[in-house]
Structure 1
């Protein structure tokens, strides 16, 4: 299979609509349909179930979608890592660390300071990401190492070291009735009428339906909380970023969050190894 065919299939499998997939790929629909049909004939199985009203994945199609995404990520990662290797050979070495904007701020500052003091340290480019983006940057080679947070980020297929496990807190507007509680439960936070849950964009950039405000960063979300428009559930370490206009209350039954440092399993980067060792000593 060619990477072009895999890109075609992934677009159709994600859109489940040949017209939208063709528009996304910048091509006409008939050649896209023919390319998918040729791929199915070569594999000897149907990848998609087509009717006049819908397109759905078969079992084989679901398998190929997972494999195709991984293969395309690997190709993109190879391209980015080769380019960075060329820059290093030209005397401009660097390592890219991806992390969610507004998350693990204190940990990140300590890590960068401690690593900079290490003999042989090189420049660290910090890529501040939106929700879930840091994992994608790592898998596609745009980042060499990342700070991820379980259970929100997927670490399957990556090498990881755990750095910190902590409980979660509800961040509420100061003066809200719930802000005076010593602790809350997940049930207490479900459907609070005057504080609808925030809506984050999905992988396609679209926001789910709902009454809560659309948000795209933790900084924006904190401001909306302080204005009394929504609430926020976050790891306990978020307390270091809070001002007097919001209050953090422990959520006793919320799933703990584990912060990890992650890198590709085939990495041979000395800088990545040094960053990981430095993180483990913090």
Structure 2
């Protein structure tokens, strides 16, 4: 066990170092931190003295990271993120009214969320659920950063510091304009769609939502590969959904922070697993 009674690194100095290491310029770093440059330089020198290593190579023209500085930048970011996440989780746990924060992308629940919530609410450990809708790739960071307690996420996410269980695997279809010549075919191969624009080809900062994706598909500006459950919910006359015989299916998972010890999280995971198994049995007859 780590002895936390002994002196450790000053997180405020680490925070200042991370900003300097990101900017590689003391003036810009001081501006980001809202402080003068001389005390910032002193803080970095104090940190180097404490560690007994040089973190930055300074010349009149540039600032560069040493090997030790690269390691501290990587681990310092992780430490600062962990402390921030711990603070958010503590604030959430200390609320007068407990709650469970569920993160997911809109409609990416394989159609199971209403049944999961209904079964979850029957558990004695259940607390009120707030649903946090986000974009693709938002859910795993929300769990790690303490902004969500549990999530429904398709596979392919960064599961660092997370635990998860698969719920249901379903085929993906291609959504394309009904006027596209490819829509006349009963099924397609991935090769047939080579070179056609997809949502991930757009600027990530644009953060296309479902309505925008559907509009662009109808206009023939992109193709999209939704799970069957999403396609069934969104039948539109301007869009044709077709099977893609060699397209990998997608698996929906329920995920939560690895260090979670919440009875409410455990109850939600149990409910999700139970509903998914019942759905599988119904689908297979």
TM-score when normalising by structure 1: 0.78
Deviations 1:213-257 (A, max 9, x none): x43323322232223332223334321332222122334444443
RMSD value, Cα: 3.1
Q: Which residue number corresponds to residue 71 of structure 1?
A: 79
Work out whether residues 196 and 223 of structure 2, in 8 Å CA contact, stay in contact via their aligned partners in 1: no
Question: Which residue is equivalent to 1:204?
Answer: none
Contact 1:198 1:230 in 2 (8 A): no
Distance 1:57 1:231, change over 3 A: farther
Looking at structure 2, the residues matched to 65 and 277 of structure 1 have their Cα atoms a distance apart, in angstroms, of 39
Confirm or deny: 8 A CA contact 2:199 2:213 kept in the other structure. Answer: no
What SS does the corresponding residue of 2:130 show, helix, strand or coil? Answer: strand
Q: 1:172 to 1:74 in 2, by over 3 A?
A: same
* C-alpha distance in 1 between matches for 2:188 and 2:115: 30
How far does residue 166 in structure 1 lie from its aligned partner after superposition?
Answer: 3.3
For 1:94, the equivalent position in structure 2 comes to 99
1:156–1:31 CA distance, 2 compared to 1 (3 A): same
Q: Which blocks of at least 5 consecutive residues in structure 1 are unaligned? A: 202-206, 208-213
CA contact (8 A) 1:179 1:247 kept: yes
- Kindly provide the CA deviation profile for residues 110-153 of structure 1, in whole angstroms up to 9, marking residues without a partner as x: 322221233442200111112222212211212111122221x2
Structure 1, 226-235 or 22-31: larger mean CA deviation: 22-31
Cα distance change, pair 26–117 in 1 and its aligned pair in 2 (3 A): same
Cα distance in 1 for residues equivalent to 2:193 and 2:28 = 38
Counterpart CA distance in 2 for 1:148 and 1:30 is 46
Name the residue aligned to 1:150: 155
TM-score computed with the length of structure 2 as normaliser = 0.77
d(CA) in 1 for partners of 2:257 and 2:72?
A: 22
Q: Where does the alignment leave 5 or more consecutive residues of structure 2 unmatched?
A: 1-8, 276-285
Change (3 A) 1:33 1:232: farther
Distance in 2, Cα, partners of 1:21 & 1:223: 43
Distance 2:145 2:199 in 1: 35
The 2-side partners of 1:173 and 1:51 are apart by 58
Give the conservation status (yes or no) of the 8 Å contact 1:173–1:227.
Answer: yes
